[in-house]
Amino acid sequence: MTAYNPCAPYVIESGKKKGKSIEQLMFTDYGWLVFMKNLLNEKSAGAKNKLHKHIEWVLAQGSSRIPKMICPQCNKKTVSFFSYLGSERFGYSMSAAYTCCDDKECVSRLSAQGIEKVPTFLPITFSSITHFNNKQDQKRVAEILKHCFGLPKRLTKEVLFTFFSE
């Protein structure tokens, strides 16, 4: 079996997601990609189509991305976590400013900024998007990921394909 090595983004050609690339959906609808991967795994009889292979490839590539942003707490290591405060009912407060590396002192320093509340920490990974049910919260996590990975504000199909291919 040969490894899947795409040469271009996979663009959805029909349905609600028409015109979007699988790479763009990592930031806008990560949960749907995981759902589709699981559905395709159930339905495939051994042979995988190009969509199935591309979704698996992007999800695998996404899980191996390493943030470029330097920890704002110590200014030494790259960030590993972001923190958030709030509730599902009233929403969450989160931003790339509330990130830190894996150093215990940095985590402690960031926790102390919670002002009488202890923040929750999540890893800077795409799977963290699914921790939140509200689309606005998911969008905020995607913005944090963009910032931490050093991506531009406007995510084109080509920019994201290059990002996931590196």
Has residue 1 got a pLDDT over 60?
Answer: no
pLDDT tens profile 103-124 = 999 999 998 886 678 899 999 9
Mean pLDDT of the chain: 93
The string of pLDDT tens digits covering residues 28-84 is 999 999 999 999 998 877 788 999 999 999 999 999 999 999 999 999 999 999 999
pTM (2 d.p.): 0.91
Residue 100 to residue 106: CA distance in whole angstroms: 6
**CA 62/CA 58 separation, integer angstroms:** 6
CA 95-141-163 angle, to 5 degrees, is 110
Rounded average pLDDT over 132-139: 94
Q: Report how far residue 50's alpha carbon sits from residue 6's, in angstroms, rounded to the nearest whole number.
A: 9
Range among 60-64, 85-89, 91-95 with highest mean pLDDT value: 60-64
